[in-house]
Every structure is written in structure tokens, then in C-alpha cells.
Structure 1
Amino acid sequence: MTVDTALAEFVDRQRSRWSGVDPALTGFIDAAADFVADGKRMRPLFCLAGWRAATGTAADVPAPAGVVTAAAAWEWLQGSALVHDDLMDASDTRRGRPSVHRAFEHLHRDEQRVGDPVGFGAGTAILLGDLMLSWCDEMLRHAATVDPDLATGDGALRLARAFAVLDTCKSEVTFGQYLDVVAQTRSEVDADAALLVVTFKSAKYTIERPLHLGAVLGGADQELLDRLTAVAMPLGSAFQLRDDVLGVFGDPATTGKPAGDDLREGKRTLLVARALARLSTTDGARLTEALGTAAGVPLATELVLASGALDDVEADISRYAAEATAALSALPDAARATLEPLIDRSVRRDR
């Protein structure tokens, strides 16, 4: 079984169960399925890597169906976060297509429905994100159905530990998102505050907790979890900083998002903090004023680039990636073989 297969089978069960209630639910379920159809699958990959680290299973040996199902559940949490994030940021696109709130807003207009199309799109995006958050738990619980070893005895205890990891992760990523929102209300841009957002919104959520969830399903002890954390935290920071760079300088045809979208949204990223630390008082004030406005994106991009902040952040990315690579030496051979290519994939990417 693959992650894609597990997701498809899960959606088929949802369609069979709910589509007969009202035809409108078919389109709603399809929207959720379509949204997770072409993600990077980073969290499932790290989850499977955690299981391999705990069990010593080589990368070319298929994981049990229950473990794959648990790994696939991360895609629903990611989908929920992105749908809500796009709504909060008023983003028009995601992966080169209209964001969910915009897609349902267009549907409202195309079908000439009554009421407010913007409100309909926003309300539907909130509900779809909530549905996917619920499906994350449901799919993780379904792991015990496809793998009876996770339903009783030691397996049930391992699954309970996995739910504890997921519960912690959901709190962490929500706290990180809130800190990100709070940062946008402050006039100052602080590098330490930006790194705290990176820690909770990305490093823990994208890499550490998926690794931990897979590892506890494999019976990992605390020592192994700590060693995985030593790899995950610097790698997760590098992953998010690469996102920050792509959010300003990425190719829209590849990222699926307009260039400079983070600047339009007024994100107080480390890239912006590094730029303000380097710019003169006058240019710093110009950058601060341009942040959070569509019209200010070209000027903000120019100032960030001229400041040399991009080179600083690229150096940060390289340093964090080197720390993660060095921490691999404390892991079993199977874990190193699985995680080494994921380090490269996390850092050297264009979307």
C-alpha cells in the first residue's frame, strides 16, 4: 500500500457513507480529495522514516498497511492548515489553482446562487478545513482496522502513543500560527520571534512530530525520539527558511503562488528581519511601510534583495542542514539511509 492508495481508499469510504445524504456533499468531499491529491507528501515520508528508524526496516521493504495509513493521515492535517491559512492570508491561489475559498466563491457566482459569494467561499473553506482536521484523527484511528496488530495489546498502546504525538502537534502548529498572526500586528520585526514561529509552525509540525509518530508506532524509546529530534529541529528550520525564500523569490509557475506573496501578506519572516537589520533607517522604514500591501511588493522585494538578507538566510539554511546531517550519525543505519535523501529534498527544492 502507498500513501496515495491509502488516501484514495479513505475518500472512497467517505463518499460511500455520506454522498447519499445530499448531492452537495459529493462536491464538498471531492474538494477535500482534490486538495490533498498533489502535495509533496513530506510529513508522511518523515512518518515512515520514523517507523523505519525504530524498527530497523530498510527503505526498500514495504511498511505495513497500518503504518502507511497512519502516515497518510498527516495529509489531512496539512490540508486543513493550508485551507485555513489561505483564508486568513486572503491568498488567491494554492498550487497554481484557486484557493478553496476562492474556488467556492467562483462556484457561487457561476451558478448564480443567492446571497454573498465571498461569505459562502469563506464559510466553506472553514468547514472544509475542519472536516480535514477531523479526517486526520479518523484516518489514524483507521490504522487499527487495516492492521489488527495495532488494535490490541502492545499495538494498541503504540497507537495510543501516536495519538498523543498528534494531539501535541496540533496544539503546537496552532500556537505557531497564532504567533505568526500576532507578529504581523507588531511594528518591529524581531529575528528571535521569527525563529520561534519557525520552530512551532514548521520544524515541529513538518518533521519532528511526523518522525515521532512513526517511531512510536515502531516501538521507539525516549532515547531514539531525542536523537530524531536532534535531526528534525535544524532540518525543520531549514525547511521553513527555504519556504520563506520561495515565498519572495520563487517562480510562480513552480510554486503555484504569486511571487512576493509573503510580503503582500506582511509576514514577519527571518528574511525580513535580516533585511531590516542590514538596511539603513530610511530604507528600513520604506520596507516596513511596504509590508502587507500588494502595491508594496516590488519595492519590498527590491529592498530585501539589495540588503543582502537573501545571502544571510541561505547561509542559515546551509548551517541548519549541516547540523541535521551531523546529527544523523547517532541514528541506526536504516534511519540514516532513509533520512539522508529527505534532508536534501527538504532543503534543495523549488516549491
Structure 2
Amino acid sequence: MDLPLIWFIAIAVLWIGYFVLEGFDFGVGTLLPAVGRDDTDRRVMINSIGPVWDGNEVWLITAIGATFAAFPAWYASLLSGFYLPVLLILLALIVRGVAFEYRGKGDTDRWRAWWDRAIVFGSAVPTVLWGVIFANIVRGVDMGADHVVDAGLLDLFGPYALLGGLTTLSLFTLHGAVFLTLKTDGDVRRRSREQAMRAGAVAIPAGTAFLAWTQAAHGTAWTLPVAVAAAGALVLGVVLAARGREGWSFTATAVAIGTLTVTLFGSLYPDVLPSSTDPAHSLTVANAASAPYTLTVISWVALVFLPVVVGYQAWSYWVFRRRVTREHIEPAPAYGGGSAAAGGGDAPASPGSG
């Protein structure tokens, strides 16, 4: 068995899971000021992702852990070149997690407004930077024979990378807006559909241009139909959202994100980090992989634990499958009052409120 190739595919699947699931979380957070006209609306939005957002981040942790275990040279070189963007993403994710917990701990508009800004920051920053990082990985970076990335921070923000960041920002915002139309009702649902149209107006041209650029510069024969499918699913998702077909629209935007990720990883293979300095210095699936024994051990670990994680997460989505409305939101108590769930104001206390 070609274990390095299997683990390259497995890591791609993990990133697909992360971008599809955490993508709508990021979209909801980014849309907080645009859709939520008052505190109750914003709590409806936060409650819609309250039971699942932290579980969705498990896909990121697993993807990074799998990269470290299966391709340690890839992991080390990535950090040598993308340390500051990754650190900023990590800080943004921490700020967002703290904001979800703390925004309901004070009973003043000013207190909640600051934590709402933190949620927007913690959602928008990773959304843009993941697009920038993956665009640079596919494009290639200045890297010598020692596999240390020599590119500076500003070198990472070229036209292709910025287009990648705009694509992920608009696509995840669209995905989050469609999720809100599927998971909420009333004015929040109506305004979310309006925001889906606005996000789609950016996501379609940006995503199509990014896919075309990726295919023309880095793609292969088999990535072409995948890229076309990604662009088609993106357009279809917007059309279905406009017609009120929320479930199918969400499926289409999820497919668009998944096929976009497949296009990126397919364009990258057999490299895992191309060198723009000299192709001979590139890290490949073969030369960056761990020893066969290590790959065998982690393969057995994945076979045992991955079904458990997927099963638990699927069960969580099933339990909290109902729409969230303003009627499910209790008045926010003063600081220190009420139960933990009510005091936070941002996590459903029962399946019925999810």
C-alpha cells in the first residue's frame, strides 16, 4: 500500500471537512453585524452554531496533527514560512472562542458590542488567511535545499494569494448565510437570504477567477472537471438560495467548498510544498513522509478513532437539528444571574432550542 499517498488524501479530506463545517461557522460570525439588528437576533445567530462550532474545530486539530505525524518535513517547512499568519489565525480563534463564552457575562450593550466585534474579527481573519495560505502553498514559495521558507510576510500577499483570500471570505460568508436560512426563521432568515445574494455576487466572480487561475497555472487534466464542478456548484448554490431551497442550497455551497479544496490539493500533488526557487528543492509526498512504521501505526489509530469522532459529531447535528427562533431566546440576565446556559445567552440549553 502507498501509505504516503493515502495520508495525503486523508489530510485533504480532513481539510474538506474543516472548511465545509467551520466555513459556515466563520460565515455566521462574519455576518453578525449585517444580519443581527438587535441583541436577540445576534443571539439567535450564535445559538444556531452554539452546539457545533467547537466540534467543527476538531477537524483542524486532526488535520494539523495528521500533517505532523505523516509528513513532519511538510509541517516544519510550513511553519518556517507561515508562522505569523498561522499565529494570527490561532489568536483569532482563541478570541472568537472567548467571545462566545463571555458576551453574555455582562448586561450592558457596550459589553456585548465589544465581544460581538471580537466574534467578527475571530471569524473573518481566519477566513481570509486560510485562502492566502493555501494559495501560496499551491503557487510555491521561496525555499532552498534546507527546506526552510525564505519568503517574507509581504511576499505571501501576492495577487493570486489575495484572490484566494477574497474567495474564501466570500464563499464562507455565502455558506454561513445559507446555513442561517436553513437554521433560523423570521427576520433573521429573511435578512440571511439577502446577505446570501450579496455574498454570492462576490463569491461567484472571485471563486470562478481563482479556480480558472489555479487550473491554468497549476492544474492537471483531472482537476479541470473538478474545478468546473466547483464553479457550477457555487452558482447553483446562489440560485437555489434565491428560490428558497435552503437545504439544497447548503448542499451546493458545501460541494463548492469541497471541490475547491480538491482542486487545490489535486493541483499540488505530487508536491506538498513546491519550491519556486528550484523545483529540485520541493517537498513531495515521497520525500516529506514519515517512516513506513510510523505511517502504519497512525493508520491503525485513525481506523479506530475516526469513526467514533464522525459518529459523535453526526449525532450532535441530529440532536440540534431544529430551527432557532427569537422565541427560543430568554431575556439576558444581569451579570452573574441565572443558569450557566442562560447567563451565557449563546448556547442552546436543550435540543428543542437548537
TM-score bucket (shorter structure):
0.3 to 0.5
Q: Which has the higher contact order (CA 8 A, sep 6+)?
A: 2
Q: TM-score, normalised by structure 2?
A: 0.38
